[in-house]
Amino acid sequence: MAKFFQHLIGPRVSPEEFRAHRIRYTAPTLMFMLARVLLLVSLFLPYWHMELEAPQYPNGLFLTAHVNNLSGDVREIDGLNHYIGMRPLGEAAAFERSVAIWAIIAMFLLVEGAAFIHSKWAVLLAIPAITFPVAFLADLYYWMRSFGLNLDPEAPLSASVKPFVPTVIGEGGIGQFKTYAEMGTGYWFAVACGVITVIGFFFHWRAYRGLYRRMITREHAVASMEAIG
């Protein structure tokens, strides 16, 4: 069991080794630290924006999505969507928004933990943070598609609007309504977190691969000597 945990956690760096190659061992830690900060800051920034142009709203309507809430002209947009049979926006991703803050904090801690594991298994801890931007975009598309393709047939304007998939990024619209959607600063911070984490693992691999191989070589040598003895 002790050997299993040693292989999982990886070799420790002696003070002498660290002083001799300070930059090599500091680089992955700094990269992971920057990635964690970007992910944590993204909590306070918008992940998605949408502007809706409608004849009765010449100045447009605006919707902003953070990871845990919707803000902007939600009520007015819900009112317009009601006429075409679309459900209220607050019903979309209710579970995801309820756990988003804790999920991001968990990813923050996992990336922090990856900095202390000096083996190839460290990457497993960072997979959620690396894939989070893709998962967010896929979830957003899922709910937009679900809402657009499941319109209420009893809605006042149901006969004039066919089911459709709202545009997640870029320009779209239906009938007299035009939409312009783009990802927000928080989302791009999360993307940067994933990219920097991947780069950090390059430095992580470069820093600890030699130590890990020497550890395995020593174990094989000890096992051989014990077998001979």
Token pair for 163: 């089911």
Would you state the pLDDT for residue 33? 95
User: pTM for this structure?
Assistant: 0.89
Beta bridge pairs of residue 134: none
CA distance 83 to 54: 13
Boundaries of every domain in the chain: 2-228
> d(Cα 88, Cα 82) in Å, to the nearest integer?
8
* Helix (H/G/I), strand (E/B), else coil: 21: coil
Q: Is it the case that residue 2 has pLDDT exceeding 60?
A: no
- What are the start-end ranges of the H helices in 43-92? 74-84
Predicted pLDDT of residue 12: 75
Environment class of residue 225 by beta-carbon count within 10 Å: exposed (0-12), middle (13-18) or buried (19+)? exposed
Query: Which token pair is 107?
Result: 């990813």
The answer to whether 73 and 81 are in contact (CB under 8 A) is no
CA 50 to CA 48: how far, in whole Å?
Answer: 7
Maximum CA extent, the chain: 90
Please tell me whether residue 227 adopts helix, strand or coil conformation.
helix
Q: Strand order in 48-54's β-sheet?
A: 70-72, 57-65, 48-54, 177-183, 170-174
- Residues near 137 by Cβ (< 8 Å), separated by ≥ 6? 168, 183, 187
Asked if residue 28 lies in contact with residue 196, where contact means CB atoms within 8 angstroms, the answer is no
70-72 vs 170-174, strand pairing mode:
unpaired
* Minimum mean pLDDT range among 40-54, 139-153, 201-215: 201-215
pLDDT at 168 over 70: yes
Is pLDDT above 90 for 143? Answer: yes
Mean pLDDT of 139-162: 91
pLDDT digits (tens, 9 = 90+) for 15-44: 888 888 888 889 999 999 999 999 999 999
Q: Which residues contact 30 (CB under 8 A, 6 or more apart)?
A: none
Could you write out the three-class secondary structure of 163-218?
CCCCCCCEEEEECCEEEEEEECHHHHHHHHHHHHHHHHHHHHHHHHHHHHHHHHHH
Residue 1 confidence (pLDDT) above 70: no
**pLDDT, tens digit, for every residue of 76-124?**
999 999 988 999 999 999 999 999 999 999 999 999 998 888 788 889 9
